[in-house]
């Protein structure tokens, strides 16, 4: 496993990224974070893990594997997450204007490295 | 949900809805119950309150022995259930929250919304009443009266 | 009607332009496919008798045959203004709405047709056929039957589901990987997701939530909330580009929103 902080270090320089975290899926707690001051890491971790569980429930009901990534888009920002093999979740909070395509690729790569 | 203090009801209701906690007990640091949700028997409430207050007292003592700041919360994680115990200040003095949660929620959510509960309680608490001495002969009556209120009987 | 008959009617109309003979003449021309000529005759009639519902009905049928749906719609709407219970106008508007994919509206007109002429078994049968084709069923929470708004959008069935906040199926349906019906299980899983997404967006200051995209293994999923009390799931195999899936989800969401508003 790469250093989790170095994994996050590849996400935060992207313009529009408010913060990045590695979250424990099971208990919704922060494992590592790199956040702007105005981002509540504890809230991101708890809510992202909970939402990830909900979405895994949807794909399970369809007989499908868990999503490899998911994205919640709001009018003022977005939350992008990808689970790792270690029951962790790489999560990024970003502005709406972020380059979502590049961010997605970086998050997927980070999830692989964090495994 | 039952509460001896009406102003506790709204914040506690919001906490229960958001956190998904199964059981919740709010008590003073002396173990006097203020509000409860999910307990069926009064005996369970009394035992949980006494044990919770005891654990927090023991934890504080342990912190003192280690010469560190008092620990604010304790978490026990079981396979099916988790337990979160936290002390916090209110305008009415130091209180303790005991929360039991299952796999439908998480420690992260419980902690997140517990912090909001603490904020809400601080905001909504009425000014502190002058301390009233509880006489020994009144104690049993007070206790039974409190338990009746907490269980709606 | 033969060519001679048409010639005779044409001559009669020429002799007496105020004659009502324009009605059978334009209809005969329409049936023979002489739509330009039929249109000219009908327009003349409408001009002369602007308060005659039958003249507008004839004009609308000709315009509909010419593929001028908007003009036909206007003409049949005029008919209903002149005669609210005009059977032909209701039938015509039902047809136009069906052709335009507005099935809820089409059904409303067709149901009115059957109300106006309940003894007509062929009309009742037509209504039943259209209802079946449109997937009409009872909608939970509304106490009435309505056409499935997702059916028209679905190239393949079984890939879109609209549920209420209790997870009850409002429209569409989904199957699992083995092809078994899975709407009930998926509905239950979707039930809490809107509230969860709303809460997450609110507490993390993301604004109102607009979409949830799930990138799966064999399939991708898009979630939308067409109204505050419904959740829509649209799924496609992973080969379908994400942008196309998102577009499909937007269309389905808009259709679901209109449909729910109409049901209310």
Neighbours of A12 (CB within 10 A): 16
Taking the alpha carbons at both ends of chain B, their separation in whole angstroms is: 13
CA within 13 Å, CB half, B95? 20
Taking Cα atoms as reference points, which of C206, C207, C211, C216 lies closest to residue C194?
A: C211
Question: Cβ–Cβ of B112/A47 closer than 8 Å?
Answer: yes
Beta carbons of B35 and B97 less than 8 angstroms apart? no
The C-alpha atoms of residue C220 and residue C237 are separated, in whole angstroms, by: 6
The C-alpha atoms of residue B84 and residue C91 are separated, in whole angstroms, by: 67
Cα–Cα distance list, A83 to A9, A48, A70, A113, C43 (Å): 18, 11, 9, 11, 67
Shortest CB distance from A51 goes to which of C185, C200, C205? C200
| B116 contact partners, CB below 8 Å, separation of at least 6 | B14, B15, B18
Distance from CA of A1 to the nearest CA of C (A): 23
- Using the Cβ of A97 and the Cβ atoms of chain C, whether some distance falls under 8 Å is answered with no
CB pairs under 8 A between A and C: 117
The C-alpha atoms of residue A28 and residue A38 are separated, in whole angstroms, by: 19
Q: What is the DSSP pairing of strand C209-215 with strand A69-74? A: antiparallel
Taking the alpha carbons at both ends of chain A, their separation in whole angstroms is: 6
Q: What is the token pair recorded at C181?
A: 């019906």
Taking Cα atoms as reference points, which of B46, B5, B21, B9 lies closest to residue B103?
A: B21
Question: Cβ–Cβ of A27/B106 closer than 8 Å?
Answer: yes
Which regions in chain A score pLDDT beneath 70?
1-2
Shortest CB distance from A55 goes to which of C177, C207, C214? C214
Q: Which residues pair with A83 in a beta bridge?
A: A89
B1: confidence class by pLDDT, cuts 50, 70, 90: confident
- Chains touching A (3+ CB pairs < 8 Å): B, C
Taking Cα atoms as reference points, which of C214, C226, C209, C154 lies closest to residue C189?
A: C214
The C-alpha atoms of residue C114 and residue C124 are separated, in whole angstroms, by: 6
Question: Cβ–Cβ of A27/B108 closer than 8 Å?
Answer: yes
Question: Cβ–Cβ of B107/A42 closer than 8 Å?
Answer: no
Q: Model-level pTM?
A: 0.72
Question: Cβ–Cβ of B109/A43 closer than 8 Å?
Answer: no
Q: C203 to chain A: which residues are within 8 Å by CB?
A: 40, 43, 47
- Using the Cβ of B149 and the Cβ atoms of chain A, whether some distance falls under 8 Å is answered with no
Q: Residue B46 in 3-state DSSP?
A: helix
Q: A72 to chain C: which residues are within 8 Å by CB?
A: 197, 200-201, 206, 209, 211-212
Full pLDDT tens readout for chain C, 264 residues: 777 888 898 999 889 888 899 999 999 999 999 999 999 999 999 999 999 999 999 999 999 999 999 999 999 999 999 999 999 999 999 989 888 877 778 888 988 999 999 898 888 888 887 777 777 777 777 777 777 777 656 555 558 899 998 999 888 888 888 888 899 999 999 988 988 999 999 999 999 999 999 998 788 999 999 998 899 999 888 888 888 889 889 988 998 898 888 777
pLDDT score for B146: 64
Interface confidence, given as ipTM, is 0.93
Taking Cα atoms as reference points, which of C84, C104, C55, C34 lies closest to residue C256?
A: C104
Question: Cβ–Cβ of A29/B77 closer than 8 Å?
Answer: no
Report the side by side order of strands in the sheet with B33-37: B2-3, B33-37, B23-28, B93-101, B82-90, B73-77
- Chains touching B (3+ CB pairs < 8 Å): A
Q: B119 to chain A: which residues are within 8 Å by CB?
A: none
Neighbours of B64 (CB within 10 A): 11
Question: What residue in A sits closest to B101 (Cα-Cα)?
Answer: A27
Q: In C103-122, which positions are buried (b, 16+ CB within 10 angstroms) versus exposed (e)?
A: bbbbbbbbebbbeeeeeeee
Q: What is the token pair recorded at B76?
A: 């026990």
Say yes or no to pLDDT of B131 above 60. no
């Amino acid at each position: 496993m790469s250093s989790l902080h170095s994994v996050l270090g590849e996400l935060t320089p992207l313009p529009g990224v408010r913060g990045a975290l590695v979250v424990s899926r099971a208990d919704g707690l922060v494992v590592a974070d790199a956040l702007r001051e105005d981002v509540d890491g504890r809230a991101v971790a708890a809510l992202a893990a909970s939402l990830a569980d909900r979405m895994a429930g949807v794909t399970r009901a369809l007989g499908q594997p868990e999503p490899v990534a998911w994205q919640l888009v709001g009018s003022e920002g977005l939350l992008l997450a990808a689970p790792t093999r270690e029951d962790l979740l790489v999560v990024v909070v970003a502005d709406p204007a972020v380059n979502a395509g590049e961010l997605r690729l970086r998050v997927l790569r980070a999830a692989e490295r964090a495994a | 949900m039952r509460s001896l203090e009406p102003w506790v009801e709204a914040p506690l209701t919001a906490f229960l809805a958001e956190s998904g906690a199964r059981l919740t007990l709010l008590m003073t640091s002396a173990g006097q119950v203020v509000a409860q949700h999910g307990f069926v028997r009064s005996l369970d409430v009394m035992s949980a309150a006494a044990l919770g207050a005891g654990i927090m007292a023991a934890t504080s003592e342990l912190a003192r022995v280690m010469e560190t700041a008092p620990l604010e919360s304790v978490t026990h994680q079981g396979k099916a259930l988790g337990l979160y115990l936290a002390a916090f200040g209110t305008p009415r003095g130091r209180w303790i929250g005991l929360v039991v949660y299952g796999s439908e929620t998480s420690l992260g959510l419980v902690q997140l919304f517990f912090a909001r509960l603490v904020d809400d309680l601080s905001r909504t608490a009425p000014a502190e009443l002058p301390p009233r001495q509880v006489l020994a002969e009144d104690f049993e009556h007070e206790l039974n009266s409190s338990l009746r209120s907490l269980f709606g009987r | 009607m033969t060519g001679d008959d048409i010639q005779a009617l044409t001559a009669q109309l020429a002799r007496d332009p105020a004659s009502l003979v324009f009605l059978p003449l334009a209809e005969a021309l329409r049936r023979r496919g002489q739509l330009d000529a039929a249109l000219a005759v009908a327009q003349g009639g409408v001009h002369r008798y602007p308060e005659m519902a039958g003249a507008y009905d004839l004009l609308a049928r000709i315009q509909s045959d010419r593929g001028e749906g908007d003009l036909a719609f206007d003409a049949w709407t005029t008919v209903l203004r002149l005669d609210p219970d005009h059977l032909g106008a209701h039938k015509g508007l039902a047809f136009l709405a069906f052709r335009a994919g507005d099935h809820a509206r089409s059904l409303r007109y067709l149901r009115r047709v059957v109300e106006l002429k309940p003894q007509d078994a062929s009309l009742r049968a037509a209504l039943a056929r259209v209802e079946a084709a449109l997937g009409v069923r009872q909608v939970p929470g509304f106490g009435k039957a309505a056409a499935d708004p997702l059916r028209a959008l679905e190239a393949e069935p079984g890939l879109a589901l609209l549920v209420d906040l209790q997870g009850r199926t409002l429209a569409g349906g989904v199957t699992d990987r083995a092809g078994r019906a899975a709407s009930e299980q998926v509905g239950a899983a979707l039930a809490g997701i809107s509230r969860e997404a709303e809460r997450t967006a609110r507490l993390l200051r993301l604004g109102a939530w607009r979409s949830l995209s799930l990138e799966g293994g064999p399939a991708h999923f898009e979630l939308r909330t067409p109204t505050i009390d419904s959740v829509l799931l649209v799924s496609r195999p992973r080969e379908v580009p994400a942008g196309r899936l998102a577009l499909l989800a937007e269309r389905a969401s808009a259709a679901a929103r209109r449909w729910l508003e109409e049901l209310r």
